[in-house]
DNA sequence: TATTGTTATACTCTATAACTATA
DNA sequence: TATAGTTATAGAGTATAACAATA
């Protein structure tokens, strides 16, 4: 069987394994692996709009909204009016959100270590590079469609 | 930032991108990407029990059952009594299931090609190998049972 | 007109726990 | 006692479409 035909299932198994391990680790902090990703995204760039947040996750704006409602109820994020755009709302971590993220990040260290325990440093870099290139290749058509859709309007 | 710290999010982005592209492709055939994985698993080893199926996906037995109910309603899989174990049921693709899987597999060729379009053949093999090693490292403490079940299948 | 976000809605996947039937 | 599967239940994430407010 060609590597190409095995890749999708191998990628899926890798991700699902990571996702389940992460869920198990983060459960102690009252959050899911996906919620952790949202917190991590906010931690890297505070006060972004919901659309920016969705684009970076990457996820759907209405999915992100559903997640934000849950996280707001947990007191981990807050939404405020955007300074210049009255349509938009900026999303931020609360103090509790920052603390929870930091603790969960530390607790996740074990999983991150275990991901690369069979890799040399060079292999880890290669793996990261290949993952990014694959994501870009696969995402390109989506961009083209978006461009094509946006085309008639110019 | 160390590659190790970027890897989880990079893996997630790669998988989610693949998953969304796959869902879009398979929608035409009335199935989801995850249902396609179940059909593909059956196509590679007919008449397995629900537990074997769950172990190979990899997924949870009760999740697999929920998926099987949907796929049975679509007429793509069928369940029959196990020849020797009265507790168990064997799961198989129906003729319609085989056809749907084959068509969906062909339709997915474009996505599989695009995954590796920026890779040399050697890089594709390396990527697959690293994915498998990562999954194994990460799963060692959690999936003893799944590994034991999956092993006999060569 | 296009964009940001909300609302309403629906469905798939996920998983735990209690249960039965059988090994 | 352990295992295969079912049932009941719950919740998270996903996404679409119609809508209001604003750019």
Are A138 and B130 inside 8 Å of each other by CB? no
Q: Looking at the partner chain, which of B14, B112, B138 has a beta carbon nearest the beta carbon of A135?
A: B14
Find how far residue A103's CA is from the centre of its chain.
18
Identify the weakest region by mean pLDDT among A45-49, A115-119, B40-44, B54-58.
A45-49
Residue-wise pLDDT for A78-109, tens only, equals: 999 999 999 999 999 999 999 999 999 999 99
Q: Are B10 and A130 in contact (CB under 8 A)?
A: no
Using the predicted structure, report yes or no on whether residue B151 has a pLDDT greater than 60: no
Tell me what the mean pLDDT of segment A113-138 comes to.
96
pTM (2 decimals)? 0.90
Distance CA A114, CA A116 (A): 5
Contact A49, A89 (CB under 8 A): yes
Contact by Cβ (8 Å): A128, B10: yes
pLDDT for the residue numbered B141:
59
Inform me whether the pLDDT recorded for A56 exceeds 70. yes
Cβ-based neighbours of B148, under 8 Å, separated by 6 or more: none
Confidence of residue B109 (pLDDT cuts 50, 70, 90): very high
- Are A4 and B114 a contacting pair, CB within 8 Å? no
Q: Are B130 and A127 in contact (CB under 8 A)?
A: yes
Higher pLDDT, B6 or A151: B6
CB of residue A22 closer than 7 A to nucleic acid strand C? no
| Per-residue model confidence as pLDDT tens digits over B112-149 | 999 999 999 999 999 999 999 999 999 875 333 333 33
CB contact under 8 A, B127 and A123: no
Sheet containing strand A89-93, edge to edge, reads: A48-49, A89-93, A77-81
Predicted confidence (pLDDT) per residue in A10-50, tens digit:
999 999 999 999 999 999 999 999 999 999 999 998 789 99
Report the C-alpha gap between A18 and B85 in whole angstroms: 34
Q: Is residue A148 predicted with pLDDT exceeding 60?
A: no
Distance from CA of A36 to the nearest CA of B (A): 11
B17: which chain A residues are within 8 Å (Cβ-Cβ)?
A: 58, 135, 138-139
User: In the prediction, which pLDDT does A130 show?
Assistant: 97
Which two three-digit tokens encode residue A4? 């190409």
Q: Chain A: residue nearest B134 by CA?
A: A115
Half-sphere CA count of A17, side-chain side, radius 13 A: 31
């Amino acid at each position: 069987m060609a590597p190409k035909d095995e890749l999708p299932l191998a990628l899926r198994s890798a991700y699902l394994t990571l996702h389940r391990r992460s869920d198990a680790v983060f459960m102690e902090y009252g959050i899911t692996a996906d919620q952790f990703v949202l917190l991590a995204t906010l931690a890297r760039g505070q006060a972004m709009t919901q659309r920016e947040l969705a684009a970076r996750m990457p996820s759907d704006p209405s999915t992100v909204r559903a997640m934000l409602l849950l996280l707001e109820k947990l007191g981990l994020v807050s939404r405020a009016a955007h300074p210049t755009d009255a349509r938009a709302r900026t999303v931020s971590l609360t103090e509790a959100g920052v603390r929870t993220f930091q603790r969960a990040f530390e607790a996740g260290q074990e999983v991150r270590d275990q991901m690369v325990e069979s890799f040399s440093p060079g292999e880890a870099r290669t793996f990261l590079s290949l993952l990014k290139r694959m994501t870009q290749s696969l995402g390109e058509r989506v961009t083209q469609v978006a461009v094509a859709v946006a085309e008639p309007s110019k």
